[in-house]
């Protein structure tokens, strides 16, 4: 196999230094994606900096929100009492992802940093600008039934595969990072990038920056929430398309606040702010949901094999909102 160094620092700064000083180094936590990519030769880091010994697993209250450590396991977060009470949408989205075995290994930070599952990215013999800039996008005129309908470029039409991130972008989370130049917070919606001319960059993390936590602010979305994931089998499959929906409905069945995001449609989890605005102040009825779904799909554009998403998108939004309202 490819030779690589392996270090396991116990101090945050040592971990950051190890990656910041070596462009061929990568952090590794659960390894549920990186190890696969290394086995296939898609990613070939010369050094792995194992961060599992850093104290980043806690889930705790912080300034009217929940601070979830980057190393908290997906299964731990999904089952956490505070998460289920304060942010049930996050719990639902996590449990819709992967399999029980993977959720027991995968971390919150790693989940956000999953690479796309585009088949062209995964095949070294195929063109892919994300894997090998300049080689072209295989999916653009290829088998693109899993691909993007929003925010793509002619360089890349891949989608981000995370379920958890769809919920986090809807919930206005922020990502806390530490790097060579100190700490900073990144709004979740700005964490992932659109492909543009540099599809090889999935996120706005700077070299050496380490995700330390995700903070989810408290909100009114503790009851009327739903994560609707449509896939080709009942479990353990990436989404054809998914919708995270959260509603705050008053006693007159009027929507006071709404959050809506889609997965499987863009290079990043796709927040639907215009559709949210179309929901607020309206009665929580199927008709309202249909109107919002039309707004949500504005600007969507399909390729040869993914035109079904133009219909599946609004249908799934309606289904997610109906289920959330009835919850």
Partner 1 sequence: MKEQAQDKQIGAPMNRVDGRLKVTGAAKYSAEYEIPGITYAVLVGSTITKGRLTSIDTRAAERAPGVLAVITHFNSPKVPGFDTAGKDPSQPATVGGPLKIFKDDLIRFNDQPIALVVADSWERARFAARLVKAQYAKEKHQTNLEANAAQAFLPTSAKKNPKSPMADYQRGQVDAYKTGAIKLESEYVIPTEVHHPMELQSITAHWEAPDRLTLYDKTQGTLATRRDFAREWNLPEENVKVIATFVGGAFGNALHSWPHESAAIIAAKVVNRPVKLMLTREQMFTMVGYRPYTWQKLGMSATPDGKITAITHESIGQTSTYEEFTESTLAQTRMMYQSPNVTTRYRLAALDIGSPIWMRGPGEATGAFALESAMDEMAHLLNLDPLEFRLRNYTDQDPEKNKPWSTKFLKECYQLGAERVGWNKRQLKPGSLRDGDWLIGYGMGVGTFGAHRGAATVGAQLLPNGTVLLQCATTDIGPGTGTVMTQIAAETLGLSPQKITFDLGKSSYPKAGTQGGSSTVNSVGPAVQEACLALKDKLRGIAASSNAAFASAKKEDVTLTDGYLTVGGNAATRVAYADLLRQPEAATAVTVEAKPGPEGQKYSMYSFSVHFAEVRVHQLTGEVRVSKLVSCADAGTIVNEKTAGNQMKGGAVGGIGMALMEHATIDDRFGRYVTKDFADYHVPVHADSPDVQVAFVNQPDPHVNALGTKGIGEIAIIGVAPAIANAIFNATGKRIRELPITPDKLI
For partner 1, give the closer residue by CB, 203 or 319. Answer: 319
Q: Are 57 and 213 in contact (CB under 8 A)?
A: no
Residue of 88, 97, 110, 138 interacting with partner 1 (CB under 8 A) = 138
For partner 1, give the closer residue by CB, 60 or 286. Answer: 286
For partner 1, give the closer residue by CB, 12 or 308. Answer: 308
What does the per-residue mask of binding to partner 1 show for 98-127, with x meaning CB under 8 A?
Answer: -------------------x-xx-xx-xx-
- Asked if residue 6 binds partner 1 (CB under 8 A), the reply is no
CB of 318 to partner 1, least distance (A): 6
Residues numbered 224 to 283 that lie near partner 1 (CB under 8 A) are 228, 230-238, 240
CB of 143 to partner 1, least distance (A): 5
CB of 197 to partner 1, least distance (A): 24
- Asked if residue 159 binds partner 1 (CB under 8 A), the reply is no
- In the sheet with 241-249, reading across from the earlier edge strand, the strands are 224-230, 241-249, 255-263, 270-271
What is the four-CA torsion angle of 305, 309, 310, 312, rounded to 10 degrees? 140
- Asked if residue 41 binds partner 1 (CB under 8 A), the reply is yes
CB of 250 to partner 1, least distance (A): 25
Whole-angstrom distance, CA of residue 44 vs CA of residue 285: 51
Q: Which stretch binds partner 1 (CB under 8 A): 19-27, 100-108, 137-145, 261-269?
A: 137-145
| Residues that bind partner 1 in the complex, under the rule CB under 8 A | 1-2, 41, 117, 119-120, 122-123, 125-126, 138, 141-143, 145, 228, 230-238, 240, 308, 311-312, 315-316, 318-319, 322
């Amino acid at each position: 196999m490819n030779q690589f160094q392996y270090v396991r620092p116990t101090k945050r700064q040592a971990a950051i230094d190890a990656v910041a000083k070596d462009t061929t180094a990568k952090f590794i936590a659960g390894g549920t994606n990186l190890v696969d990519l290394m086995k296939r030769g898609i990613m070939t880091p010369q050094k792995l900096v194992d961060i599992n010994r850093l104290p980043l697993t806690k889930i705790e209250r912080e300034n009217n929100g929940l601070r979830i450590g980057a190393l908290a396991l997906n299964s731990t977060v999904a089952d956490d009492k505070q998460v289920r009470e304060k942010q049930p949408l996050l719990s639902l989205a996590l449990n819709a992802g992967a399999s029980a075995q993977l959720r027991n290994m995968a971390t919150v930070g790693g989940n956000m940093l999953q690479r796309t599952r585009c088949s062209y990215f995964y095949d070294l013999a195929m063109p892919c600008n994300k894997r090998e800039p300049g080689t072209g996008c295989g999916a653009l005129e290829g088998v693109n039934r899993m691909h993007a309908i929003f925010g793509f470029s002619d360089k890349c039409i891949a989608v981000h595969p995370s379920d958890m991130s769809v919920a986090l972008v809807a919930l206005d989370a922020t990502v806390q990072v530490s790097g060579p130049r100190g700490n900073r917070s990144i709004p979740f919606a700005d964490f992932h990038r659109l492909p543009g001319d540099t599809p090889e960059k999935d996120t706005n993390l700077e070299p050496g920056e380490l995700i330390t936590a995700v903070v989810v602010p408290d909100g009114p979305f503790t009851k009327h929430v739903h994560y609707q994931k449509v896939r080709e089998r009942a479990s353990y499959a990436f989404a054809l398309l998914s919708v995270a929906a959260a509603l705050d409905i008053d006693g007159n069945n009027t929507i006071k606040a709404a959050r809506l995001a889609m997965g499987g449609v863009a290079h990043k989890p796709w927040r639907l702010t215009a559709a949210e605005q179309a929901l607020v102040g309206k009665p929580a009825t199927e008709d309202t949901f249909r109107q919002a779904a039309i707004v949500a799909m504005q600007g969507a554009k399909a390729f040869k094999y993914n035109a079904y998403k133009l219909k599946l998108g609004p249908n799934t939004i309606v289904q997610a909102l109906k289920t959330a309202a009835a919850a």
